[in-house]
């Protein structure tokens, strides 16, 4: 299978373990329809927080290694851990 990964609107967990994700090699990449300068991403992470509750939202993406173009938008609390 070939494509892209979108992680969006996650506010029910603090951590997403992606230890086995190494390469996102998409034939089709994601382009943000609201951003005319967007040229395609293999990993798109956006809007991962609870709007009305401060401190609630996705805080960690746990990756061992990752190759590919990534974009982070309005993921206020997120930290990226490469382990």
pLDDT means per 10 residues, the chain with 83 residues, are 79 83 79 79 81 79 78 72 55
Pull the structure tokens for residue 2.
């070939």
Per-residue pLDDT at 80: 62
Long-range CB pairs of 28-35 (<8 Å, 24+ gap) are 28/2, 28/3, 28/4, 29/4, 29/69, 30/4, 30/6, 32/71, 32/73
Say how far residue 41 (Cα) sits from the centre of its chain: 10
What is the C-alpha to C-alpha distance for residues 41 and 66, in angstroms, rounded to an integer? 13
pTM for the structure as a whole: 0.76
């Amino acid at each position: 299978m070939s494509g892209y990964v979108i992680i969006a609107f996650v506010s029910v967990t603090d951590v997403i373990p992606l230890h086995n994700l190494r390469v996102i090699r998409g034939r089709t990449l994601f382009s943000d329809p609201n951003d005319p300068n967007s040229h395609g991403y293999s990993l798109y992470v956006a809007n991962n927080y609870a709007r009305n509750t401060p401190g609630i939202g996705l805080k960690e993406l746990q990756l061992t290694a990752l190759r590919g173009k990534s974009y982070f938008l309005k993921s206020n609390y997120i930290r990226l851990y490469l382990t």
